[in-house]
């Protein structure tokens, strides 16, 4: 048991940071996370995520539930065959056959889940408290006889009678379990109740915590558990899971590292791991999500941007590089001169004070129309203010796409420099096919990376107008572009070509420091 008070009431977690004790993480993205509605991971996706979790230094990986079926068992075997450094486990119900199925998958351990609350004991399983205790002891002994790491969860533990839960977990530990686990299965508990329950269980031996976010207390209850003596936290990447989800492991990890100096994983891998899970599950990241959301290190406000340019830490709790992120300064109605100048300098555009003032005014006007000002918008405004004609390097002349009855295909006709090029491509859909055709037509210069692709419908109906926003990078340069059209394929291709053109345009005309008297941008778009 870890004593987190350590005689320091101002920092109850200090004793871990100053001792040989550690907090460990058990990732259940591949099991509990997959129980989120609409999420189904293919075997290769689970194996890929498991490798990433292992590289991140996660100590325990719950690879799935062997009792689900042969397909799930084959998936678990894919993970156990990876020879990871992490302890790979399977979820097992309170049935001996579930342990046998887990053993057949070659796992290192099992989390045995038995009913903990009266609701589960009497109404779900239809047994008695004494029978649950006896069965649990037998199952633990059986699993330990087969050299498995064993953790026991009393399901719905936050609604269990605490005296019974203590008796149940005491029996499990006496039978040889490596640890017990407090489970707030339905996200019911308050931090005070969590602390009370985990404190009692911690007196028996090593204890884990498994929290859900139904009341928004997921991270708080994990912290209360550590405060009470737990030393292992269950969670998922991005907090995915049934209902409101599990506690997000990346939030647990950064909170412990930044707040208490306790390292639980390789934080620099966090963002790549988060994106990998989001892509595989199809669950997008909310922009305002802690640690990994798009806005976590993005600044628009003129005051914040100016302060950040003067001191990186002015408006951030920790550097974005800590979790594999980069800081972003974006433009909108709150933009200020310092942020606009910095954004222009990123694209090698120099402006006079007069030009800067005009550009800032136009950026604000565009932002007032509830529009994010992309890099392409900013550069177009600067070109108009400075009276420069834009020399396009890549231009779309024609696009044809088809997807009915077979493999989606597309062909494009582009002007690249002084040359007209035609190319075709196939893909998983017409947009994918069209983008592949563009890459083929542009050739080697199209090796820019598509960092993000986002679609929003801005009108209703089957003829809805959509906005496609892309972000592309080449080397150390990044460009964002947004386009709107009722044809999503055309809209996507135009956005990508605009971004490519901005990235590839190396020949820029000389800029006049004087502000043109009548520089206008027709509709501020």
Q: Which residues contact 524 (CB under 8 A, 6 or more apart)?
A: 362, 365, 366, 369, 381
Report the SS3 class of residue 180: strand
pTM (global) more than 0.85: no
Structure confidence at residue 509 (pLDDT): 42
All structural domains of the chain = 14-281 (3.20.20.70), 299-386 (1.10.238), 394-504 (3.30.160.270)
Structure confidence at residue 519 (pLDDT): 34
Apex 71 CA angle, 52 and 25, nearest 5: 30
The continuous run of DSSP H or E covering 80 comes out as: helix 70-80
Q: How far is CA 108 from the centre of its chain?
A: 27
Closest CA to 193 of 174, 167, 215: 215
C-alpha to C-alpha distance for 432 and 424, rounded to whole angstroms: 11
Per-residue pLDDT of the chain (525 residues; tens, 9 = 90+): 444 444 445 555 655 555 556 899 999 999 999 999 999 999 999 999 999 999 999 999 999 999 999 999 999 999 999 999 999 999 999 999 999 999 999 999 999 999 999 999 999 999 999 999 999 999 999 999 999 999 999 999 999 999 999 999 999 999 999 999 999 999 999 999 999 999 999 999 999 999 999 999 999 999 999 999 999 999 999 999 999 999 999 999 999 999 999 999 999 999 999 999 999 999 999 989 999 998 888 776 555 555 666 666 777 889 999 999 887 777 777 778 888 888 888 778 888 999 888 888 888 887 776 666 777 788 888 888 888 877 788 889 999 998 776 789 999 999 988 889 999 999 988 888 998 999 899 887 777 888 888 888 766 665 668 888 888 888 767 888 888 888 889 999 998 888 888 887 643 344 343 333 333 333 333
Give the residues across from 412 on adjacent strands.
Answer: 399, 423
CA distances from 51 to 235, 236, 279, 311 (A): 17, 15, 15, 37
CA distances from 521 to 73, 184, 481, 518 (A): 61, 58, 17, 10
Closest CA to 220 of 202, 244, 247: 247
Reading the block at residue 452, the tokens are: 């993000």
Closest CA to 250 of 299, 142, 322: 322
Structure confidence at residue 210 (pLDDT): 98
Closest CA to 331 of 315, 349, 343, 316: 343
Structure confidence at residue 347 (pLDDT): 78
């Amino acid at each position: 048991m870890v004593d987190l008070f350590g005689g320091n009431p101002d920092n109850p977690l200090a004793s871990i940071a100053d001792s040989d004790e550690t907090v460990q993480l058990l990732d259940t993205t591949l099991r509990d996370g997959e129980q989120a509605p609409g999420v189904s991971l293919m075997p290769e996706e689970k194996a890929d995520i498991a490798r990433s979790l292992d590289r991140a230094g996660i100590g325990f990986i719950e690879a799935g539930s062997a009792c689900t079926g042969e397909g799930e068992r084959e998936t678990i075997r894919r993970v156990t065959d990876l020879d990871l450094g992490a302890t790979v486990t399977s979820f097992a119900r309170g049935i001996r056959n579930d342990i046998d199925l887990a053993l057949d998958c070659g796992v290192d351990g099992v989390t045995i889940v038995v009913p903990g609350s009266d609701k589960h004991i009497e109404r779900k399983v239809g047994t008695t408290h004494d029978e649950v205790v006896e069965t649990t002891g037998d199952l633990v002994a059986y699993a330990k006889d087969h050299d498995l790491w064993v953790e026991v969860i009393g399901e719905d533990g936050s609604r269990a009678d605490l005296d019974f839960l203590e008796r149940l977990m005491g029996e499990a530990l006496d039978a040889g379990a490596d640890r017990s686990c407090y489970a707030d299965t339905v996200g019911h508990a308050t931090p005070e109740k969590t602390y009370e329950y985990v404190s009692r269980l911690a007196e028996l031996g090593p204890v884990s915590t498994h929290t859900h976010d139904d009341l928004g207390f997921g991270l708080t209850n994990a912290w209360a558990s550590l405060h009470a003596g737990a030393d292992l936290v269950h969670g998922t990447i991005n907090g995915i899971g049934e209902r409101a989800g599990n506690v997000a492991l990346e939030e647990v990890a950064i909170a412990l590292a930044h707040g208490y100096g306790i390292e639980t994983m390789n934080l620099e891998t966090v963002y790549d791991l988060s994106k990998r899970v989001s892509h595989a599950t199809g669950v997008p990241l909310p922009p305002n999500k802690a640690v990994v959301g798009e806005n976590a290190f993005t600044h628009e406000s003129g005051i914040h941007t100016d302060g950040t340019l003067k001191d990186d830490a002015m408006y951030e709790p920790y550097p974005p590089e800590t979790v594999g992120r980069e800081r972003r300064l974006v433009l909108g109605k709150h933009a200020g001169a310092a942020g606009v100048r910095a954004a222009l300098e990123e694209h090698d555009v120099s402006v006079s004070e007069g030009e800067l003032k005009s550009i800032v005014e136009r950026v604000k006007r565009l932002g007032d129309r509830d529009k994010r000002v992309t890099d392409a918008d900013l550069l177009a405004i600067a070109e108009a203010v400075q009276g420069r004609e834009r020399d396009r390097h890549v231009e779309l002349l024609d696009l044809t796409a088809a997807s009915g009855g077979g493999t989606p295909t597309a062909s494009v006709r582009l002007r690249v420099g002084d040359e007209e090029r035609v190319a075709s491509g196939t893909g998983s859909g017409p947009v994918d096919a069209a983008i592949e055709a563009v890459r083929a037509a542009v050739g080697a210069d199209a090796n820019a990376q598509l960092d993000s692709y986002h679609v929003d419908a801005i009108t209703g109906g089957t003829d809805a107008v959509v906005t496609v926003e892309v972000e592309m990078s080449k080397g150390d340069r990044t460009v964002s572009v947004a386009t709107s059209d009722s044809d999503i394929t055309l809209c996507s291709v135009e956005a990508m070509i605009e971004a490519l053109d901005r990235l590839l345009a190396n020949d820029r005309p000389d800029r006049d420091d004087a502000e043109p008297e009548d520089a206008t941008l027709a509709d501020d778009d």
